[in-house]
Amino acid sequence: MGFKSLCWGFAVLCLVSCASHRQNAVCSEIRYRLDNMDYNDDQKEWIEEEWRACIAERDSLAIIDGEKYETLLEEY
């Protein structure tokens, strides 16, 4: 294994592992708006559902990130 392939593996690992972290920022923004803005009942119900969906997606991305990380470690 050469230095170049090691660098590529590291770059791929960094890009792959960032998905759940990016999603976390999105979920935090939704939560901030939910906590700090005034909504009528229908809007509040909708934004709470969006927040729950965001959390579920973040968690699934974290699982995928972990699996990809383990696969990359096995390859290199």
Q: What is the pLDDT of residues 3-29, one digit of tens each?
A: 776 666 666 655 555 666 777 888 899
The predicted structure's pLDDT at residue 63: 74
Residue of 37 and 15 predicted with greater confidence = 37
- Per-domain residue ranges of the chain: 3-75
Per-residue confidence (pLDDT) for residue 59, from 0 to 100: 83
Cα distance between residue 73 and residue 9, in whole Å: 9
Structure tokens at 24: 């976390």
- Mapped to the 3 state alphabet, what secondary structure does 51-74 carry? HHHHHHHHHHHHHHHHHHHHHHHH
